[in-house]
Each structure stands twice: as structure tokens, then as C-alpha cells.
Structure 1
């Protein structure tokens, strides 16, 4: 394992570095990017109708720029305050909500699945909240359980029903790591049941509002709206057309947060200032919990941990219909890169983030 975040002491040091980073963000110290750098970054980005890029180094916002259109159909420009569907980057928000309830002693990481979902198959007695957080539950991904021909969007309770019809897990809980959107859908439902508050309301009142993320939300069609919304797109016959939703785009805990690069910076700052979680929960969230099957990375709670160019990296990508996201944090040098795209990309997101990190952070001194 390459990742060095192996103890609460090191995790605390990492958070101290994030705190220093966040304090500079709070002062809105932004280095104005040159037109040449703006064009260079644009040339390194994949083809997309719109994109937002935020980069921080040594605690300073060194790049903040958006390109193209948030909504091609209505010719709406993309800006740093445009809200994108964060897809699986949303998992860190759900994990935080769970840890907040642990801090409030409303749940335990060792609580079994059957505590929250009576009638779940017997194997749920061996699956804990911790297993769900770390993708070690053995629960199958619900996407593979959706009946053929389904056209209506699945809700969280639909996913729960599909899972309750499975007789055995894919593997014994805790035996291996296997990425599972199902686990985070269930975690969203657990937040709802333990807090006795609808998940989207809990996130708004208990997570976003304290961090002044006033334009961010967990989107629920018919219940709320996304201000300054980016719409997803795909390319057809050489033109960008709207492709914003699929049958799996309405589930909440695994991918339904909408936010902008500006508000995501508030999210990083809120963690660094420990405004949501106890010290114990912070240490756990930024420490490796399990080795993954993706190279030398580990997984904590809603984050991957590894290294890039000799630097510790905390990161996560998002991938859903019409959207691709990338968040990469380098705590040792108080740096971060956040990328948002409103289309399906052909190239994997991690190397895109690394390419932009090279330009804006690691090779910046050479310019």
C-alpha cells in the first residue's frame, strides 16, 4: 500500500493542513490567471459543452474559471457558481451525514442492516453501517437488478425492495472490497430513519446550511429545484443534446448532490474547520479503512486515498448520465483541483484530473 495515512495522528496532521488551506480560501485570496493559462487549461480539457475548474495551491486559489455552456438548449453560460450533479462525489456528503449521526449517538458504525430494515434477508444481520461506508458489504449493485424495460426512475425504496429480494450476498461481509452504489443508497435511507427527517432536508439543514452552501442541495424532482443548474449532455450527430437523467438518476445517497466549484470549496473548508464532525470522526474519514482493488489506493468513508507524484492524495470521481466530476486534494502542499463537466466523457476522469494538476499545481513553477 502506498498511502501513508495510517494513523489518527497522521490523519490529524492532514486535517491541519486542510485547515490552513481553508483559511486562505476563506480570505478569497485569488491569483488572477493569465489569458494564456486559461487557454492552456482549456486545451487540456476533454470536449464538453461546459466545464468548471478550480485549483488551489499553497492555500491560495490560483485558478477559478468556467468554460462553455451549462445548458446548450437555452444558451446559458457556465460559471463558477453553476451547480453540477456531483454523482459519486456525493458519497462523501452521505458519509459525513452518517458520521454526524454517530457523533450524536443516534447510530453506531457497528449497527447491523436489519436494525434499520426489518425483513431484510438474513444475511443483513452480518452487514454493518461500516461495511456500507467502505464498500465491503457484499450487497449487489442495484443497477444489475433493475428489470429490463424499466422506464420510470427508481427511488430509494425501490432499490431497497430490489435488494430485499436477493437471497445471498456477493461475498461474506468484510471479506473484500467491491464498489457498491447500493450501499450508499441504503446509507441515505439510514440517515432518514435515524434522524426522522427526509434525507434531502437533513442535508440542507444540518450539512449545507451550517457551511453556508446556500445554493447546494440533494435534488428531488417536484420537491425542490436546483438554482443555476447545469444540464447533462451527450453528443449526437456532432451536436450536444440534453441527456440529463436515467432510470438510476433519482436515488439520493449515492449521487444526487448538486453543487458548484465555489460551494465545494466551502465543503472542503467546513471539513478542515471541523464544523460538522468530531475529531474522532474526522480522523476516521481521512484515514484508510480498507485496501481497494484499484491500484494502490485505500478507501476511507466516501474518499479514496493514494499518492500522485509522491504527494498524498485524497480524491473521488463522479460518473452519471450527462456528468463527470473529479475532486483531487493534495494536503501536504495545501492544494486541490476540482473539475466539473456536463457531458459523458470518453476519457477516464482520474488522468484528466492529474493532467490539470500537473499544469496548475506540480509544474506551475516552471511556467
Structure 2
């Protein structure tokens, strides 16, 4: 039976109180002025209220100094426990960054090479897998079949035999395709080379000074002191429930790290100071891999994001956490949270915070679109619409398609179809050449039961983009049932 945690009517008050309380939880050795940025705090407070994020811990580091560090909200909703410096967060796929560093540490020691075939470390692989390399695993270009987490009860040998029957998804090195099997194999390789459990090796070589603040566990059901659960919101019951995602050690390399904000700050300092790996190795680790097919900007398990002059590196995980570095500006942003009602857009948060910290990183379009999104989530529809119209008048050069589309779907999700249609209609008027805007409007009309207008919108979308398979599918459905 699922255990629901009902949202109290005073949840906003609780958030405000816990935010105030968490402000006092600052290390005594660092002056408050060096740890707090008012503009970042205002944005994050709005983000937490808008997306109803139970708890969060955020740090921003610039040129080796922490310029913003704060705990927000609740680590445990049921018992009203605030997030603190002791709170452990599951970081999900951010764990892959730790795995990548572990691999490159072993490369520096001469125990591994990017060019090593995985068959050197994993026995009895199919012939077609023999020349897949460690580089292919790190860059998600192996083409290996994906293993399913429901197979956790199987032994490694049993699971290998099961996936051996699957064919490769594509030729190695051809393209990027995110795949957890890559990191299961990296875990096995690290364990064979080091003769240690994967988690022991990573803690010993990357978190040795903060061992109690970094734990590997991919099982959400384990009772771990100070760990906040991940909450997901059940809209039917108007309540949060604790996720029951259960995975074993096989998943550790891909999503198993549980860590405090302070431990990641320390890890980042060691990375920046070339303690974990050398500067040369670090550069290689974050260099974009050259895929044979379509070029996807992605390093050796480090994502590469943003326009070329505002590029940043790192990874996000589970919709709740992110570790991102603006290498050229020497800025690092760490976001840890434990759930949401309205899924926050992590890339928007990174973009917004970076623009606050360094004016050269400002992406005005993305920041204004985020402000519009928050306006609709924090205010009444009419109030938010006025805010949007004011921003539109002041910034006629900015395209707000992203925010209008996002909020249209938000209103569809809460069954306010008329508001959704109004936003989608506005979007098509302001972006008459957008196939996506007309596709979204078609969906809203269809859900409202107006098949005639839905068909017109979908046909307009296909005219603008003949490759729009979604619109083509719904045109066929509507015409078949007329």
C-alpha cells in the first residue's frame, strides 16, 4: 500500500519558516556575506514555491569561493525536519561524474586505457561486442542493449546471458544514446582492476575526507540516517508519496551516490585544484567525443550544454539535482533537491543562476521565459497574464514560445483547458511559423472535444513541418472518427 503524505494547507508557511531557519545553518568559519547572494536566493525561493519543491540545498562557487550556499525547506515532510548540512540527497545520474573521474584516475595510474576493449575485463562477451572500448561506454556510444532494473534479482552472470541475446542497437562510436548498461560495465571493470567494491574505491579515492557524507545506495527503501527521500506528487490524492525505486549495487555507477552539499563542494574543490586528476586529464575528460554520425556535444560522461560562448559541463539527475561547471568563467553550480509537484526545469535554473553571477553568461530569452513560467505558477491566471504582457511590451525582441507552451501544458494537466487553449492560441498568433505551437493547440482543442478546430490546427502544423508524425497521427485519428 502506498503511503501518502498529504500537503498541509499551510505548506507555504512551512516553507517560509524552514527557509528562515536554514539561513542560520552556516559554517561559523565563513562570513555570511561570502555565502549569500540575494538575487539568487529570491529566484530559488520563487522556484521552490512555484514547483512546490519540498527541500533543496544549493551552492554557487566562483573562482574557488562559495558565493552562495543555503539550505531550503524540508528534508522530511512527515516529521517537519528542515534540510541541514547533514542532509544526504540522492543525486541519481550525477553519480556518473564520480564514475568518470574514477576511470580517469585509473588511466593516470596506467591501469586502464580509453582504447581498452571491454572484453579484456568482462569474459565471454558476444563476438560483436569484443571491440567495444571503455571510451564507448563513457560516451554512451557503445550501442549495447539496455538492461532493465527489474532484473536486479538476477546474478550478473544470469543478466549477461539474458542481454547477450539482444542485438547491438547501432554500430559502436556512431552516435550518442543514453544507456545504463554502459555504467554497469564500467562498475565491473573498475572492480576487476582495483579488486575493490566499486563504492569503496570511489569513496576512498574521491571522498576520503568526508566519508560519512557520501554513501552509495541505489535503493530508495533503505533506511539511511540523514538521507532525505525523493518525493513525487500524486495529483489524484493531492499528496506527496515517497518514491519506492529499488535498485541494487549493479546501479551504483550510474545512479547510486547519496551525498551532502558540503561533500560535493569539497569534491569540486579537489577537482578544481587538480587533486583528483591532473589538469591535462580533466581537459581530456570534458572534451567532446567525436561521434561518427551526428555530432552530439558530449564528453566522457560529462554533458556539454549551452551555446558555445556560454558553455557548461556536468550532469543532472532524476529531475532533482545537478552539478554544472562553467569552465571558462570558473563557476560551479550545485543543486540538490528531493522532489517536486511541478517538475522544475533544471537547465533553466542553471541558466538563470549563472546569468545572475556573471553578466557575460546572461541569456535574456531563457531568463525571461523562466520568469514568465514562474509568474503563472505563483499567481492567478489573470495576474500572470498581465505580467507576461508587460514583459512582452518591454522586450519585443524576445520569443516567449517556450514559456507559453510550457504553461499551456501545465493548465491542461490541472484540467483548466480554457486557460490552456487561450495560451496556445496566443502562442500561434505570436509564432505563426511554429509547427510545434499549432501541434500543442491541436491537442488542447482535441481534449476540449472540438475536433474541427483540432483538425485545422494539426493540418496547419503538418503544413509548416511535413515531418511532424504526431500531428499526422492525430489527423488520421480525427478523420477516421468523423
If the TM-score is normalised by the length of the shorter chain, which range does it land in? 0.7 to 0.9
- Aligned ranges for residues 121-200 of structure 1 at < 5 Å? 121-143=126-148, 150=150, 160-166=160-166, 168-200=167-199
Range 95-104 or range 342-351, more displaced: 342-351
1:289 and 1:133 map into 2 onto residues whose CA distance is: 10
SS at match of 2:41: helix
Residue matched to 2:467: none
Tell whether 2:345 aligns with 1:342.
Answer: no
Residue matched to 2:270: 270
- Aligned ranges for residues 23-62 of structure 1 at < 5 Å? 28=30, 31-33=34-36, 38-45=41-48, 46-62=51-67
Q: Which is helix-richer, 1 or 2?
A: 2
Q: Is the Cα–Cα contact under 8 Å of residues 49 and 240 in structure 1 kept in the other structure?
A: no
Give the 3 Å change call, closer, same or farther, for CA 151–93 of structure 1 in structure 2. closer
Residue matched to 2:325: 329
Give the 3 Å change call, closer, same or farther, for CA 114–34 of structure 1 in structure 2. closer
1:59 and 1:278 map into 2 onto residues whose CA distance is: 17
Aligned-residue offset at 1:183: 0.3
Q: Aligned-residue CA RMSD in angstroms? A: 3.3
Larger Rg: 2
Give the 3 Å change call, closer, same or farther, for CA 127–87 of structure 1 in structure 2. same
- Aligned ranges for residues 79-90 of structure 1 at < 5 Å? 79-90=84-95
Aligned-residue offset at 1:140: 2.1
Range 117-126 or range 241-250, more displaced: 241-250
Deviations 1:253-276 (A, max 9, x none): 111011122211111111122222
2:276 and 2:327 map into 1 onto residues whose CA distance is: 19
2:346 and 2:246 map into 1 onto residues whose CA distance is: 20
Residue matched to 1:281: 281
Q: Is the Cα–Cα contact under 8 Å of residues 286 and 299 in structure 2 kept in the other structure?
A: yes
Q: Greater relative contact order (Cα 8 A, min sep 6): structure 1 or 2?
A: 1
Q: Is the Cα–Cα contact under 8 Å of residues 203 and 217 in structure 1 kept in the other structure?
A: no
Q: Is the Cα–Cα contact under 8 Å of residues 286 and 300 in structure 2 kept in the other structure?
A: yes
Aligned-residue offset at 1:62: 1.9
Residue matched to 1:101: 106
Give the 3 Å change call, closer, same or farther, for CA 324–292 of structure 1 in structure 2. farther
Give the 3 Å change call, closer, same or farther, for CA 293–272 of structure 1 in structure 2. farther
2:285 and 2:74 map into 1 onto residues whose CA distance is: 35
Tell whether 2:301 aligns with 1:302.
Answer: yes
2:349 to 342, 348, 352: 352
SS at match of 2:232: strand
Residue matched to 1:231: 229
Aligned-residue offset at 1:195: 0.7
Give the 3 Å change call, closer, same or farther, for CA 159–52 of structure 1 in structure 2. farther
- Aligned ranges for residues 223-262 of structure 1 at < 5 Å? 226-236=224-234, 237-247=237-247, 251-262=251-262
Gapped regions of structure 2 (runs ≥ 5): 1-28, 363-482
Gapped regions of structure 1 (runs ≥ 5): 1-26
Would you say how many aligned residue pairs link Structure 1 and Structure 2?
A: 328
SS at match of 2:252: coil
Aligned-residue offset at 1:278: 3.9
Range 345-354 or range 67-76, more displaced: 345-354
2:177 and 2:254 map into 1 onto residues whose CA distance is: 15
Aligned-residue offset at 1:332: 2.3
SS at match of 1:43: helix
Aligned-residue offset at 1:234: 1.0
Q: Normalised by the size of structure 1, how large is the TM-score?
A: 0.78
Give the 3 Å change call, closer, same or farther, for CA 364–41 of structure 1 in structure 2. farther
Q: Normalised by the size of structure 2, how large is the TM-score?
A: 0.61
